[in-house]
Amino acid sequence: MNAHKLLASALILGSLALAGCSAEKPDRPVSFQKDVYPILKTSCAECHTPPTGEGYQKSGLAIDTYEGLMKGTKIGPVIVAGQSLNSTLSRLIEGRPGVNPSIQMPHGKVKLPEEKLVLIRKWVDQGAKNN
């Protein structure tokens, strides 16, 4: 009997430990200044910096400041705070179905790594704050 109780206790404790590991932990806040801006600066600034960047001249999108990014393009915003699925920026950098490959960003370069896409997506979903 003692062996059965010991085994049962071990199974219960093991199950509780696994349950604790698999529980979702809240996402840490993603910072525009520390997390997102460095990605944009490295991958997008070459074309989307006023006044001479080709992407800026064509679209009006400036990523050199938070305000410029949030202003968007000549035809409107590229970020819908809290809604990465509805944000043009996310669609373009993720290369979602339906996006014309000629305007997928970064234009003519390798797609951003998934971990960078996830950071940008989380930042937008967390409200696209200037933090």
In a domain, 119, yes or no: yes
How far is Cα 73 from Cα 59, in angstroms, rounded to an integer? 5
In a domain, residue 130? The reply is no
Q: Which pTM does this prediction carry? A: 0.78
Q: What is the pLDDT of residue 128?
A: 98
Q: Could you list the residue range(s) of the whole structural domain that residue 114 is in?
A: 29-125
Is the alpha carbon torsion for 86, 83, 128, 39 positive or negative?
A: negative
For the stretch 69-92, pLDDT in tens is 999 999 999 999 999 999 999 999
- pLDDT tens by residue, 3-58: 444 434 443 444 444 444 434 455 799 999 999 999 999 999 999 999 999 999 99
> Is 66 contained in some domain?
yes
Sign of the four-CA dihedral 27, 78, 109, 56: negative
Number of domains in the chain: 1
* Averaged pLDDT for residues 97-122: 91
pLDDT value of position 20: 42
Q: Is the pLDDT of residue 115 over 90?
A: yes
Sort 1 into a burial class: Cβ within 10 Å, 0-12 / 13-18 / 19+.
exposed
pLDDT of residue 64: 95
Instruction: Decide: 78 and 87 in contact? Cβ < 8 Å.
Output: yes
| Residue 15 in domain | no
Is residue 9 situated within a structural domain?
Answer: no
Residue 70: predicted pLDDT: 98
Q: What is the mean pLDDT of residues 100-122?
A: 92
